[in-house]
């Protein structure tokens, strides 16, 4: 496993981290807790030292599973990042003119932090992230004062923001002020928008970058077909509704053909991870791992060579801007990106 600097914090984190959404057990179909525990142990045994979760994953259950594993492993140095969601009653994401003092009031941030600490069985969070963001939050101060207080108390070590899918650059104002230590963002073979402005800003300001959704909710592993179905309770039933799955599979097969001409022995999943790891701004990539086999396959990319700048440039031909949570591909729409 390769290790990378996590921004300017002096931490060396594994190139592949553990994405813990699915082990929460409420949005990705049935999930066995013991299988989740085995997956976590396998990933940690293979060099992973960074885990990303959220209070909203299984209403805290993902944090509880992680706490169980951390207790079993004793004194291993493992960095844990979690996220605080908007206060109940707000949409996702909040409206652009939302007031941070309403969405993330100080007392709520602090109490949610204490709940995460209890579920994780720890006395501090390495990264405490806002689970969504709007530009207006950059110019408000109460959340900054609250996070600074939590840092001073030793409850958190770093402040993070998980930026919205389609507007990743709206946190740049806080990067410039130095009030955000880490940014979590979607970056994969389809979605390359962070390269335009967010990644250069992170490199300039020494902000750590956590990459989520490297597989586009599983599609870029190449395992789906146009006939794939998802169980009740699996968020991908919505994400890949209508023509979304068929068009995604078609585009993934184009990427596979490109890959096979250059790396015929490389699995699509590892190729997708190697792409996401190839940008120099990236600190760690956090694919989901629901069982030991997935943990073994995903961690293999953590010791692989990055794709060359020339190959990355050629892969721009497959970039595809979309918003499947809110939009569907129209039947018969042009196939161009």
Exposed/middle/buried for residue 152 (C-beta within 10 Å: 0-12, 13-18, 19+):
exposed
Catalytic residue list contains 57 = yes
Taking the CA atoms of the chain, what radius of gyration do you get in angstroms?
A: 19
Structure tokens at 203: 């490199």
* CA gap 42, 104 in Å, rounded: 35
Residue pair 184/214 in contact (Cβ under 8 Å)? The answer is no
What lies within 8 Å, CB to CB, of 160 at 6+ separation is 81, 83, 127, 128, 129, 130, 180, 181, 182, 183, 184, 208, 210
Residue pair 209/180 in contact (Cβ under 8 Å)? The answer is no
From 240, 186, 181, 214, select the one nearest 301 (Cα to Cα). 214
Q: Give the Cβ contact number of residue 6 at 10 Å.
A: 24
* CA gap 205, 203 in Å, rounded: 6
* CA gap 63, 69 in Å, rounded: 10
Active-site option among 3, 57, 79, 271: 57
Structure tokens at 5: 């600097």
Chain-centroid distance of CA 20 in Å reads 9
Helix axis angle, 268-277 relative to 292-299, nearest 10°?
50
From 189, 192, 334, 306, select the one nearest 252 (Cα to Cα). 189
Whether residue 230 has a cis bond before it, omega within 30° of 0: no
Tell me the catalytic residues: 57
């Amino acid at each position: 496993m390769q290790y990378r600097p996590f921004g300017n914090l002096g931490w060396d984190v594994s190139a592949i981290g553990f994405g813990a959404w699915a082990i929460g057990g409420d949005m990705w179909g049935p999930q066995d807790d013991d299988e989740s525990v085995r997956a976590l142990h396998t990933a940690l045994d293979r060099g992973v030292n960074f885990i990303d979760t959220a209070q909203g994953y299984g209403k805290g259950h993902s944090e509880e599973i992680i706490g169980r594993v951390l207790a079993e492993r004793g004194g291993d140095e493992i960095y844990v990042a979690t996220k605080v969601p908007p206060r109940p009653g707000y949409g996702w994401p909040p409206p652009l003119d939302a007031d941070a003092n309403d969405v993330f009031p100080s007392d709520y941030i602090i109490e949610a932090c204490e709940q995460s600490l209890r579920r994780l069985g720890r006395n501090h969070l390495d990264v405490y992230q806002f689970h969504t963001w709007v530009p207006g939050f950059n110019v408000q101060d109460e959340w900054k004062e609250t996070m600074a207080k939590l840092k001073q108390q030793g409850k958190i070590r770093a402040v993070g923001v998980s930026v919205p899918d389609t507007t990743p650059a709206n946190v740049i104002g806080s990067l410039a002020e130095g009030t955000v230590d880490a940014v979590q963002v979607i970056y994969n073979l389809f979605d390359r928008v962070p390269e335009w402005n967010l990644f250069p800003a992170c490199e300039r300001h020494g902000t750590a970058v956590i990459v989520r959704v490297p597989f586009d909710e599983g599609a870029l592993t190449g395992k789906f077909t146009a006939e794939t179905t998802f169980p009740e309770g699996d968020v991908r039933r919505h994400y890949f509704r209508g023509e979304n799955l068929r068009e995604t599979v078609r585009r993934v097969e184009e990427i596979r053909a490109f890959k096979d001409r250059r790396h015929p022995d490389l699995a699509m999943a590892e190729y997708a991870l190697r792409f996401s790891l190839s940008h120099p701004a990236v600190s760690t990539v956090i694919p989901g791992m629901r069982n030991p086999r997935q943990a073994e396959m995903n961690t293999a990319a953590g010791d692989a060579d990055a794709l060359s700048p020339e190959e990355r440039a050629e892969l721009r031909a497959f970039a595809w801007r979309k918003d499947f949570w809110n939009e569907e591909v129209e039947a018969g729409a042009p196939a161009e990106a």
